[in-house]
């Protein structure tokens, strides 16, 4: 029994299996880059928050 040609098999939406595979690869790469960007933004926001907390903490320590 031979394997069917992925260029001839149609999947959901009328796309061939090869086209679906390419779309999945592209969306996976896009998701990974978005995840990296969000993680970088969270780190920057965390650093800002930490600086703010240290600023307020240091101001309040001087009043006691």
Secondary structure in 3-state letters for 1-64? CCCCCCCCCECHHHCEHHHHHHHHHHHHHHHHHHHHHHHHHHHHHHHHHHHHHHHHHHHHHHHC
Domain housing 56? 36-63
Number of domains in the chain: 1
pLDDT at 62 over 70: no
Residue 30 lies in a domain: no
Q: Residue 13's pLDDT is what?
A: 80
Residue 19 lies in a domain: no
Q: Residue 1's pLDDT is what?
A: 65
Per residue in 4-51, pLDDT tens? 776 777 777 888 888 888 999 999 989 888 887 777 776 777 788 888
Residue 58 lies in a domain: yes
Residue 41 lies in a domain: yes
Residue 47 lies in a domain: yes
Residue 11 lies in a domain: no
Residue 48 lies in a domain: yes
Residue 53 lies in a domain: yes
């Amino acid at each position: 029994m031979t394997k069917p040609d992925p260029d001839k098999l149609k999947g959901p939406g009328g796309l061939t299996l090869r086209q679906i595979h390419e779309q999945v690869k592209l969306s996976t790469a896009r998701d990974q880059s978005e995840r990296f960007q969000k993680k970088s933004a969270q780190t920057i926001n965390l650093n800002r928050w930490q600086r703010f907390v240290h600023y307020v903490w240091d101001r309040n320590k001087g009043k006691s």
